[in-house]
């Protein structure tokens, strides 16, 4: 008797595996025992509606509304993000912005914020000095450039903004971690690092030049 059960079971498996589940598509709606709230009355975009006098289901925007949401580069929840300098790093003619957007004020507090964010998010690869010798180098990530190369010293602030926002090569985007304002603060700090590594005797205050044997 056991063998009969066994054989039936085996034949059932065999039948299903040969004939069943062969990837055929069905256009019939699936059997929904519990439809929950899957099917509800709704309008699809740009559909007609007899309910409104103009026959459109899409309603025109009330006067004075402001778009809210995500721009392509800005963090979540910023109004419109229409300031291209601040949110894209671009000037009015669409080129990379040189200098800082008018919306940010570069002062000591801003720099301190930049140092703070830089130390968290950039120093692991770019190093505390910006020379590309961060901790990741010891673990085999060798291609991190130094900020002190002429090319990166001359790079427009807006292009650095773009690198932080969208990433480059092995460097991922930091758009979800660093707000647009903080990205500019980081750039201010990167500029400070570059300045610090390329000082000349003329940068030493005259009162201290004698200590270096310059005078």
Q: Could you tell me the two tokens for 47? A: 């559909």
Measured CA to CA, the distance from residue 56 to residue 58 in angstroms comes to 5
Per-residue binding string, ligand HEC, 89-128, x by CB under 6 A, is --------------------------------xx-xxx--
Side-chain-facing half-sphere of 93: CA atoms under 13 Å: 2
Candidates 106, 128, 152, 192; binder of ligand HEC (CB under 6 A) is 152
Tell whether residue 142 is a contact of ligand HEC (CB under 6 A). no
- What is the nearest approach in angstroms of ligand HEC to the Cβ of residue 81? 19
- Closer to ligand HEC by CB, 57 or 146: give it: 146
Per-residue binding string, ligand HEC, 15-44, x by CB under 6 A, is ------------------------------
Q: Angle at the Cα of 196 (from 190 to 202), degrees rounded to 5?
A: 140
Measured CA to CA, the distance from residue 124 to residue 137 in angstroms comes to 9
DSSP state of 96: B
Give residue 43's Cα distance to chain centre: 33
- Closer to ligand HEC by CB, 14 or 143: give it: 143
- What is the nearest approach in angstroms of ligand HEC to the Cβ of residue 196? 16
Give the interface size with ligand HEC as a residue count (CB under 6 A): 21
Q: Which one of 52-60, 70-78, 103-111, 159-167 is the stretch in contact with ligand HEC (CB under 6 A)?
A: 159-167
Please report where in the chains the tokens 């990530």 appear, as a residue.
141
DSSP state of 60: P
């Amino acid at each position: 008797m056991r063998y009969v059960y066994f054989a039936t079971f085996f034949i059932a498996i065999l039948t299903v595996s040969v004939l069943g589940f062969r990837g055929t598509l069905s256009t019939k709606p699936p059997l929904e025992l519990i439809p929950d709230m899957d099917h509800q009355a709704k309008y699809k975009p740009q559909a007609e509606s007899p309910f409104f006098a103009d026959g459109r289901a899409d309603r025109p925007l009330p006067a004075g509304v402001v778009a809210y949401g995500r721009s392509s580069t800005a963090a979540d929840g910023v109004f419109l993000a229409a300031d291209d300098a601040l949110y894209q790093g671009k000037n009015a003619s669409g080129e990379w912005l040189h200098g800082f957007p008018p919306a940010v004020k570069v002062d000591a507090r801003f720099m301190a914020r930049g140092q703070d964010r830089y130390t968290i998010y950039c120093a692991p690869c770019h190093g505390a000095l910006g020379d590309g010798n961060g901790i990741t180098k010891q673990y085999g990530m060798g291609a991190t450039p130094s900020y002190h190369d002429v090319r990166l010293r001359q790079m427009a602030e807006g292009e650095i903004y773009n690198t932080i926002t969208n990433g480059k090569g092995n460097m991922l985007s930091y758009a979800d971690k660093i707000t647009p304002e903080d990205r500019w603060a980081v750039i201010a700090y990167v500029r400070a690092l570059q300045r610090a590594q390329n000082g000349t005797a003329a940068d030493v205050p005259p009162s201290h030049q004698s200590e270096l044997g310059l005078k």
